[in-house]
Amino acid sequence: MRRRALITGITGQDGSYLAEHLLEQGYQVWGLIRGQANPRKSRVSRLVKDLSFVDGDLLDQGSLISAVDMVQPDEVYNLGAISFVPLSWQQAELTTEVNGMGVLRMLEAIRLVCGLDKSRAGGNDTIRFYQASSSEMFGMVAETPQRETTIFHPRSPYGVAKTYGHFITKNYRESFGMYGVSGILFNHESPRRGAEFVTRKISLAVAQIKLGLQKELRLGNLDAVRDWGFAGDYVRAMHLMLQQEEPTDYVIGTGRMHSVRDAVRIAFEAVDLDWRDYVVIDPELVRPAEVETLCADASRAKLELGWTPNVDFTELMNMMVESDLREVTRTNQIEELLPAGGW
Ligand code: NDP
Ligand code: GDR
């Protein structure tokens, strides 16, 4: 019997890479699709062949129960979220509903479909659950690098909601014996990254500037430091986490730090341009509370999962610039990819 996986957030960056990876492993894969005519459904259908869909929304408990009951998955990957940190200040309540309460709703759907309660602890036979936790939970960091035991101090409504999702997953594990794990993933990028995130904003701008379609690149805090990896590497870790005997949370990252300034320099160098001729600092793009520095200590994942990343930061930025050069050349403009609101 083929194993069955249900993925929320299927139209996002990680959803498509994870679906590809699971299909390669022989799974049948369903993606949860929200909305009446989600325009991103056709894009992910083009990217990933043999994908099935089921309707549902993390804001709607009944739809999640129906989806889990219909698919009868062996594994559920909860990637659905409002994932852009600045939006979480503008829509704090919605972010909390989707990123926090949405996790509880999915756990409840699994608990009900599996018939789990205190007296009938679930253990390894129940549906296995993966929660997309985030390094944003560390926020104002208490130690560097950050590991599974580092104290959380989130700095945005996004980070606070993710911290709730993290702990409620742990609580369902402890309360009902559910096999639920959180992957505390550091920033990961790819040519499929949304255009509002800084690496993709940079690679798109570099391609457009090189091809004479854009004059400048407006950015906020160039000093912010992140541990950036490749999304294709990180979805392998998500899958590995659900294959372990005991459910445990893991930090996933490269252990390498780079600033936004480094990202800009590498991307412009890829097309033989000097970033200082094009980058403009825009104070409007600086966040109300910034996470200055993040760096992962992923040694538990290396030891217990055998997971290591394959793509380094320079390769990643070059891959994204090359992809956007091809895309911009093909379409001659990519207006529809650019986010509203000047992000
Ligand atoms: P994206 O922003 O690319 O994708 C987000 C997905 O969430 C989309 O498919 C979107 O679908 C879906 N979604 C939004 N609202 C709802 C809702 N109400 N119900 C169901 N689905 C919804 O994110 P990524 O792929 O980059 O990230 C995947 C997950 O990992 C997210 O939870 C993110 O917070 C987390 N994460 C990401 C990291 C990264 O660096 N990429 C690092 C750490 C954690 P729709 O088409 O309907 O809008
Ligand atoms: P982040 O990613 O907030 O870390 O969250 P993002 O790429 O948005 O920002 C990274 C850093 O770059 C700085 N920055 C800018 N960011 C954007 N988007 N646009 C700019 O113009 C700009 N200028 C400077 C930011 O201030 C920040 O310090 C991502 C998301 O995928 C989350 O969902 C995920 O949980 C975390 O990564 C880990």
Is residue 300 assigned to a domain? Answer: no
pLDDT at 57 over 80: yes
Residues with CB under 6 A from ligand 1: 8-15, 32, 34-35, 38, 40, 57-59, 79-83, 98, 132, 134, 185, 187-188, 194
Per-residue model confidence as pLDDT tens digits over 88-125: 999 999 999 999 999 999 999 999 999 987 665 565 56
Q: Of 224, 239, 230, 206, which Cα lies nearest the Cα of 315? A: 230
Is residue 161 assigned to a domain? Answer: yes
**Which two three-digit tokens encode residue 337?**
């990819």
CA of 246 to the centre of ligand 1 (A): 26
Which residues are known catalytic residues?
163
Identify the pLDDT of residue 336: 52
Q: What CATH number is associated with residue 278?
A: 3.90.25.10
The answer on 111 and 206 residing in a single domain is no
Identify the pLDDT of residue 221: 97
Identify the pLDDT of residue 117: 77
ipTM of the complex: 0.99
pLDDT at 22 over 60: yes
The answer on 216 and 163 residing in a single domain is no
The predicted model gives 193-197 an average pLDDT of 97
The answer on 169 and 279 residing in a single domain is no
Identify the pLDDT of residue 245: 96
Pocket test residue of 166, 198, 228, 254 for ligand 2, highest count of atoms within 8 A of CB? 198
Q: What percent of the chain stands above pLDDT 90?
A: 92
The predicted model gives 220-242 an average pLDDT of 98
The predicted model gives 13-42 an average pLDDT of 97
Note if the bond before 288 is cis, omega within 30 degrees: no
Atom of ligand 1 nearest to the CA of 39: 46
CA of 218 to the centre of ligand 1 (A): 25
Identify the pLDDT of residue 218: 98
**How many domains would you assign to the chain?**
2
The predicted model gives 67-78 an average pLDDT of 98
Range of the domain at 325: 195-227+259-293+313-342
Per-residue model confidence as pLDDT tens digits over 124-162: 568 999 999 999 999 999 999 999 999 999 999 999 999
Is residue 298 assigned to a domain? Answer: no
Q: What CATH number is associated with residue 169?
A: 3.40.50.720
Ligand at shortest distance from the CA of 195? 2
Pocket test residue of 197, 225, 251, 292 for ligand 2, highest count of atoms within 8 A of CB? 197
In which element (H, E) is residue 217 found? strand 217-219
Of the pLDDT bands very low, low, confident and very high (cuts 50, 70, 90), residue 337 is low
Q: 44-53, 158-167, 327-336: which range is least confident on average?
A: 327-336
**Protein residue with least CA distance to atom 28, ligand 1:** 79
Q: What is the mean pLDDT of the chain?
A: 95
Atom of ligand 2 nearest to the CA of 291: 28
The answer on 285 and 241 residing in a single domain is no
The count of residues in the chain is: 343
Ligand at shortest distance from the CA of 235? 1
The response to whether residue 133 sits with its C-beta less than 6 Å from ligand 2 reads no
Burial class (CB in 10 A: 0-12, 13-18, 19+), 301: buried
Is residue 54 assigned to a domain? Answer: yes
Spatial contact of 48 and 24, defined as CB atoms under 8 Å apart: no
Rounded CA-CA distance 134/294 in Å is 11
**Protein residue with least CA distance to atom 27, ligand 1:** 14
Is residue 151 assigned to a domain? Answer: yes
The answer on 136 and 73 residing in a single domain is yes
Atom of ligand 2 nearest to the CA of 199: 7
**Protein residue with least CA distance to atom 33, ligand 1:** 83
Per-residue model confidence as pLDDT tens digits over 263-314: 999 999 999 999 999 999 999 999 999 999 999 999 999 999 999 999 999 9
Radius of gyration of the chain (CA): 20
Is residue 201 assigned to a domain? Answer: yes
pLDDT at 341 over 60: no
Of the pLDDT bands very low, low, confident and very high (cuts 50, 70, 90), residue 335 is low
The predicted model gives 207-231 an average pLDDT of 97
**Protein residue with least CA distance to atom 3, ligand 2:** 85
The response to whether residue 211 sits with its C-beta less than 6 Å from ligand 2 reads no
The answer on 206 and 125 residing in a single domain is no
**Residue 76, beta-bridge partner list:** 6, 129
Is residue 308 assigned to a domain? Answer: no
Identify the pLDDT of residue 343: 52
The answer on 81 and 142 residing in a single domain is yes
The response to whether residue 95 sits with its C-beta less than 6 Å from ligand 2 reads no
The answer on 222 and 122 residing in a single domain is no
The response to whether residue 53 sits with its C-beta less than 6 Å from ligand 2 reads no
pLDDT at 340 over 80: no
The answer on 221 and 248 residing in a single domain is no
Contacts of 276 (CB under 8 A, 6+ apart): none
Measured at the CA of 187, the angle between CA 85 and CA 147, to 5 degrees, comes to 105
The answer on 103 and 28 residing in a single domain is yes
Identify the pLDDT of residue 16: 98
CA of 333 to the centre of ligand 1 (A): 25
Identify the pLDDT of residue 36: 92
pLDDT at 332 over 90: no
